[in-house]
Amino acid sequence: MSLTTQTTHTPSRKAGKRTAALLTYLILIFFSFLFIFPVLFMVVSSFKDNPGIFSDLRSLKAFLPVGNVSLDNFAYIFERGNILLYFKNSLIVSGVTVVLSILVNSMAAFALARLRWKGRTLILGFVIALMIVPFDAIAIPLLLLVSKFPVLHIGADGINFSGTWLNTQTVQIVPFVASAFNIFLFYQFFLDIPRELDEAASIDGATPWQIYWKIVMPIARPVVATCAILGFLAMWNQYLWPIMTVQSTAARPLQPGIQEFFGRTTQWGQVLAYTSLITLPMLLVFLMFQKWFVKSVATNGLKG
């Protein structure tokens, strides 16, 4: 009895599922178009000049590299746009911050999660409370603070302090190394590692540093990846802080760099070539590490 009802239901159910799948694909393709078209337009238009871009707008040609296509825009940017300098600055600032941040915050998390000492619950509560302070709410007083900091010089004439943090790479790196959020991520991960591991190691004579570096950190690779990816993305895309602290071209990173270029040209092709150049490497890196990117974001969301 039950068998017969099932067999009569199957075809219609199958057909229903197929329609649902088709509908899903249609909606997804529609949204995909909405997500892709600005990037596609940007890249294609970066090979055209103003008249070319404008005349192609009303047709599909806006998304096709046809007509008067050349590399002139790119040549101009490399010549006049300072792009390599800004790129290098961004790379140094983001890279150094991420490496230091992983080291410093995982060490603190290790101390909080795996060492026994008085006051660690208090400190932990304090760190967690700091997670809700948005950067926007401290940017202005922080600006005054760092403007008073002198720069440490170590050279032939010994160690001395002079100048100000403004217009340096230091000012873009140091304030972002310590991160309550990263400490919390590492802390949660470290808690789940069986205690027997480091207890045994410490009985065998390992110091806390050795336990941290040789036992705990190698296991914590997924958290390292998460902090690296999210940290790099955040640093690379920073805008507010550099426009307040860096006016000199020499230390300027990419984002204010493009904004400044955008302000002094009327050639849309050049602007779009600039934005394409700095977006494509990022998209490429994203495509390569796509799985990790998505995983990082996903685990963070669940932790909240």
Partner 1 sequence: MTTPTFESTNVHPTKPRKKNSFPDFKSALWMSAPALLGLFVFIVLPFLLAILFSFSNQRLMSPNPTEFVGFRNYDRLLSVRMLTLQPEKDEAGKILLDETGQPTYPRIRSVLRSDENLREFKELFTVSLFGQRTAVVAKDPIFWIGLLNILKFSLMVVPLQCGIALLLAFLINQKLPGMQVFRTIFFSPVVTSMVVIAIVWTFLYDRQVGLINQMLSALSFGHIAPIDWLGEEKIALLSIVIMSAWQGMGFQMVVFLAGLQSIPEELYEAAELDGAGGWQKFRFITLPGLRNTLNFVLTTTTIGALGLFTQVDVMTQGGPNNSTVTVMMHAVRSGYQEQDIAYGSTISVVLFVLVLLIALVQRRLSMGGQR
Q: Which of residues 80-109 bind partner 1 (CB under 8 A)?
A: 104-105, 107-108
CA torsion, points 180, 228, 84, 46, in degrees to nearest 10?
A: -100
- Is position 76 an interface residue for partner 1 (rule: CB under 8 A)? no
Least CB distance from residue 52 to partner 1, whole Å? 12
- Secondary-structure percent of the chain, ordered helix, strand, coil, rounded to 5: 75, 5, 20
Which of 15, 36, 64, 99 touches partner 1 (CB under 8 A)?
36
Least CB distance from residue 4 to partner 1, whole Å? 19
Residue 80 and residue 60 in contact, taking contact as beta carbons nearer than 8 Å: no
Nearer to partner 1, 6 or 207 (CB): 207
- Is position 268 an interface residue for partner 1 (rule: CB under 8 A)? yes
Rounded CA-CA distance 120/113 in Å is 8
**Residue 149: partners with Cβ closer than 8 Å, 6 or more residues away:** 164, 165
Query: Euclidean distance between the first and final Cα of the chain, in Å?
Result: 50
- Is position 133 an interface residue for partner 1 (rule: CB under 8 A)? yes
Least CB distance from residue 99 to partner 1, whole Å? 13
Footprint of partner 1 on 214-233 (CB under 8 A): 233
Least CB distance from residue 293 to partner 1, whole Å? 7
Rounded CA-CA distance 230/226 in Å is 6
Minimal CA–CA distance to 244: which of 117, 133, 138?
A: 138
Which of 115, 152, 250, 288 touches partner 1 (CB under 8 A)?
115
Least CB distance from residue 157 to partner 1, whole Å? 27
- Is position 282 an interface residue for partner 1 (rule: CB under 8 A)? yes
Nearer to partner 1, 41 or 76 (CB): 41
What length does the chain have?
304
Least CB distance from residue 209 to partner 1, whole Å? 7
Minimal CA–CA distance to 245: which of 181, 172, 137, 173?
A: 172
- Is position 69 an interface residue for partner 1 (rule: CB under 8 A)? no
Which of 62, 98, 235, 273 touches partner 1 (CB under 8 A)?
62
Rounded CA-CA distance 251/119 in Å is 41
Least CB distance from residue 156 to partner 1, whole Å? 28
Rounded CA-CA distance 46/271 in Å is 8
Rounded CA-CA distance 67/69 in Å is 6
Nearer to partner 1, 151 or 282 (CB): 282
Which of 223, 227, 272, 273 touches partner 1 (CB under 8 A)?
272
Which of 116, 157, 161, 248 touches partner 1 (CB under 8 A)?
116
Token digits for 171?
């000012």
Q: Which residue has the tokens 């205690």?
A: 195
Least CB distance from residue 185 to partner 1, whole Å? 13
Amino acid 218 reads P
- Is position 203 an interface residue for partner 1 (rule: CB under 8 A)? yes
Which of 35, 155, 192, 264 touches partner 1 (CB under 8 A)?
35
* Interface map 228-267 toward partner 1 (x if CB under 8 A): -----x--xx-xx--xx---------xxx-xx--x-----
Tell me the longest C-alpha to C-alpha distance in the chain. Answer: 96
- Is position 75 an interface residue for partner 1 (rule: CB under 8 A)? no
